[in-house]
Amino acid sequence: MKSDIILCGVGGQGILSIATIIGEAAMNENLYIKQAEVHGMSQRGGDVQSNLRISSDPIHSDLIAKGAANVIISMEPMEALRYLPYLSKDGWIITSSTPFVNIPNYPDMEVIKGDLAKINNVIMLDIETLAKENDVPRSANVILLGAAQKALGIEYSKIEEAIRSVFGRKGDAVVEANIKALALGRAAQR
């Protein structure tokens, strides 16, 4: 099995938490993992991305080559498009639909939607609303993960286990909120 995943969004949206959960699930499956990220600028409203590679064979490069990513998981719609050259032709984009407008020249959302519509395999979800309506306001990122699970190639139950171990020390309430969020994501992408 092999999965090359790009996670992206704006600093502070919880992208690296998703990467941690996937990484934990992969390690429990004894898969090889490499997960590269760039720190420092993430707190300051800049774009953030992580290259996450999982495989049953040893992995060499920490970075994903162009046209090689199976999935782009994005907390922000414009950011998903930034990594388009890295997506394989039949790859999946799973993205939040809520724009994060912290720059003066943010493009028209209709243009962004149009560009996303050109890709064959796109799931766009209003994770912010879903999170609020279902009383899991701080777990929008895990809803996104639930929606992306199938495209990742990792079993759902393994991701649930990973959530329990990653969030365990934050208490039962936090764990259950994230388990619920994962399920919401899975249900929403059907």
Partner 1 sequence: MKKLLLLGDEAIALGALHAGLSGVYAYPGTPSTEITEFIQGNKLARERGIHSKWSTNEKTAMEAALGMSFMGKRALVCMKHVGMNVCADPFVNSGMTGVNGGLVVLAADDPSMHSSQDEQDSRFYGKFALIPTFEPSSQQEAYDMMQVAFDYSEKQKLPVLMRVTTRMAHSRAVVQVTESPREENTINYNAEASSWVLLPANARKRNDIVCAQQGQLEEDAVNSAYNKYIDAADKSMGIIASGIAYNYVNECYPDGCPFPLLKISQYPMPKKLIRRMCEECDSVMVIEEGQPFIEDILRGIMPGNAVIKGRLTGELPRTGELNPDIVKKALGMPTGECFAPCEDIAPRPPALCKGCGHRDVYAALNEVLKEYDHPRVFGDIGCYTLGFLPPYRAIHSCVDMGASITMAKGAADAGQWPSVAIIGDSTFTHSGMTGLLDAINENANITVIISDNLTTGMTGGQDSAGTNKFEAICRGLGLSEEHLRVVVPLPKNMPEITQIIREEINYQGTSVIIPRRECMQTLQRHLKQKKAKEEKK
Residues that bind partner 1 (CB under 8 A): 10-11, 23-24, 27, 32-41, 43-47, 51, 59-68, 78-79, 81-82, 84-89, 102-103, 105-107, 111-112, 115, 119
Instruction: Round the CA-based radius of gyration of the chain to a whole number and report it.
Output: 16
Assigned token pair, 9 = 């969004």
- Least distance in angstroms from the C-beta of 149 to partner 1: 19
Of the pair 99, 134, the CB lying nearest partner 1 is at 99
Q: How far is the CB of 111 from partner 1 (least distance, A)?
A: 5
Minimum Å gap between C-beta 126 and partner 1 is 21
Instruction: Specify the residue, 133 or 172, whose C-beta has the smaller distance to partner 1.
Output: 172
Q: Write down the least CB distance from residue 187 to partner 1, Å.
A: 29
